[in-house]
Structure 1
């Protein structure tokens, strides 16, 4: 087994006992430990390799000049500093994985640094706030951070904390022993696509068709983070072509909330990248809200219960026009060819004639508004006489993606569809 270095981000004043225990545990497993101090209290920290002064310096300040600021202000500086320092240390080969433990302060600062690391680099956070009435977004963002609830407060080494600390440390040790390779860029074509349960059949047909042709295709769940993650990976080059078939997050952005909210300015980055891109209005016609937080005018709307907690609500005609205008505006920013593939018989499951979310007036308004507001000659509009969630649409989308890849020189001109 090759010895690796695991960075441990910790407050080396208040968490010294726990830090000492974890460090010894990791070293006994055959790995080195690089301790990064993020303490901001008045107690003198101990046991660190990289002092808090370096963390604060990375934020552009000197510790002596700011040490008397409020806790909140110092936390902001620590977050700013760790965000810059962690990727720099990793790029310098100083560590292979990162681990942290603590409460709100330690968690907030540590995960800010972890989010800057590539997918695949082991990242484990043992936290007192990885449970309860909280969401994952502030803690993981679009990165593969493993969160482990500490159960008890991390205030000393005892029967409970010893158990959870050993489990959490063993998690990161196992990752560096058996995996832990950062995600890289492929030499071949890697297509990113978006889907939800309500577009699954159509999109999976597209994925299966491309995969059968030897084209790697990766699906992202477009419920507030998937589309954003796909765009980040496209910008970084891991994904070099996109078949964006479910742009539902744009609708959630328009409403300013809902289950799938969280991907601001969706689609804009993709259009500006100039990579092979196919877009379809999957899920553009509905918004998803918890059953206990429905719109006030729900009696005027068509909706269905998606599950025990969530409702899928058909948007109204004027809302569809607004969302279509936003989508067209973003498509108009395309730097190179983009294909807009429009299904003429619904943008998701349950929207065919006779089904509960069928509303031809809304769907037609979306299509007409898209066409009327697209003025960039780079945008090519095509139609498929199908519902987006049907196999026939998925096959058509996949074949169109292949033709786009040919035109971009990503596939040989004689590549068989």
Structure 2
């Protein structure tokens, strides 16, 4: 059986002994050490040197004179291209990095930018016990806290590095065994669906219906928490998904109004660029997300009109979107679904309510605000060639979910026929 190859990332000017120890714990694998340090190292154990990384750079001057921030910025694009080539040539089956703050920033940037979701990635870091969001992003990087600083070998660090070596070895072996299987054609389409707690019934019924009427399809559900939307966009961009049922576009509310669960300004754009079969709705566009009640910005608590809030749980506070905000949200959705020659997108509007809270008798029921959202989408997309269809049911009505899923199924079949 072919042994998996692990790419070890580290700053060899400061972490080479620890990298070499990790390499010794990977006896069941082949290894390549790549030097992403600030000062070039000439140790013969290094497989990919600074000179290799910068071989195609227009300016091959040493980066050691740069300050830490500039050196990281300068090295990342060249190191990313190097790692991408190793992946594309199928020469590596897992990647592991070790480092402090700078090494973590560098190594995880390479993992995010050079390697797809699903490729084994593990980072042993002094930064892993805090907020790892900036390092992980929307990817599947595993973060392991080093407990002690990576500054000289000792029993604690060697145990952590040994455990990490075992973990990446297992992941890479599994990845290698699945490579041929993953490259075979899928039985049915791979469909992404966006979901929030307040649209769960709709997503559940739509998923069930698609699995019933399209045997062999794979449904991927994304929690619309910012990172979920970014992951959906990434997998569309990487070609992992063939169609999208974007029932829950609430992350755009947070982007427009200033909530904490924005997926960025390019939400919806990946499927627009690829022109995939897609049905888009406005699930949970009645709300903006904040943390605890104390975290809500003061600007939303001032004035006589006051905002409508709902305490979803002790750490999640929801704020109802206003008519003015709904108009802005509608314009952003319309802008992001438009594209040159976009043909396979449909917009489906649940006029009976866009979430569990936006129905008669519940906290966010505001048909006037919803109407602004619906009318804005209709106005912005009129004569663009993207149909906007009103459906009188509320979003979590099982019949609405089936209508949306069936609309997507028809688009998928028509797209395949073309």
How much does 1:17 deviate?
A: 1.7
Decide whether aligned partners of structure 1 residues 58 and 195 sit closer, same or farther in structure 2, where only a CA change above 3 A counts: farther
C-alpha separation between the residues in 1 aligned to 2:358 and 2:57?
51
C-alpha separation between the residues in 2 aligned to 1:329 and 1:75?
35
The 5 A counterparts of 1:204-243 are: 204-213=204-213, 214=215, 215-243=217-245
C-alpha separation between the residues in 1 aligned to 2:171 and 2:53?
26
- Secondary structure class of the residue paired with 1:179: helix
Number of equivalent positions:
405
Contact 2:68–2:102 under 8 Å retained in 1? no
Decide whether aligned partners of structure 1 residues 57 and 258 sit closer, same or farther in structure 2, where only a CA change above 3 A counts: farther
C-alpha separation between the residues in 1 aligned to 2:170 and 2:417?
38
Contact 1:332–1:376 under 8 Å retained in 2? no
C-alpha separation between the residues in 2 aligned to 1:130 and 1:209?
40
RMSD: 2.1
Match of 2:119 in 1: 121
CA deviations 1:236-287 (Å, max 9, x no partner) are 32211111111112111112x4221233221133223222111101122211
1:100 to 71, 76, 97: 97
Match of 1:298 in 2: 301
1:289 aligned onto 2:294: no
Match of 1:415 in 2: none
Contact 1:225–1:263 under 8 Å retained in 2? no
How much does 1:119 deviate?
A: 2.0
TM-score normalised to structure 1 length: 0.91
Match of 2:248 in 1: 246
Contact 1:57–1:63 under 8 Å retained in 2? no
CA deviations 1:267-315 (Å, max 9, x no partner) are 1332232221111011222110122321322361111112211211101
- Secondary structure class of the residue paired with 2:13: coil
CA deviations 1:359-391 (Å, max 9, x no partner) are 122111111221122124421122222221232
Match of 2:281 in 1: 280
Decide whether aligned partners of structure 1 residues 337 and 3 sit closer, same or farther in structure 2, where only a CA change above 3 A counts: closer
CA deviations 1:369-417 (Å, max 9, x no partner) are 2112212442112222222123222122111212222322369xxxxxx
Contact 2:233–2:269 under 8 Å retained in 1? no
C-alpha separation between the residues in 2 aligned to 1:360 and 1:283?
14
2:72 to 61, 70, 75: 75
TM-score normalised to structure 2 length: 0.91
CA deviations 1:222-248 (Å, max 9, x no partner) are 211222222232233221111111111
Higher mean C-alpha deviation, range 202-211 or range 372-381: 372-381
C-alpha separation between the residues in 2 aligned to 1:371 and 1:284?
16
Structure 1: give runs of 5+ residues left out of the alignment.
Answer: 412-417
Match of 1:166 in 2: 162
C-alpha separation between the residues in 1 aligned to 2:279 and 2:40?
56
Match of 1:258 in 2: 259
Contact 2:346–2:387 under 8 Å retained in 1? yes
Match of 1:398 in 2: 405
C-alpha separation between the residues in 1 aligned to 2:40 and 2:53?
16
Decide whether aligned partners of structure 1 residues 93 and 328 sit closer, same or farther in structure 2, where only a CA change above 3 A counts: closer
1:88 aligned onto 2:85: yes
Contact 1:59–1:84 under 8 Å retained in 2? no
1:373 aligned onto 2:384: no
Contact 2:40–2:49 under 8 Å retained in 1? no
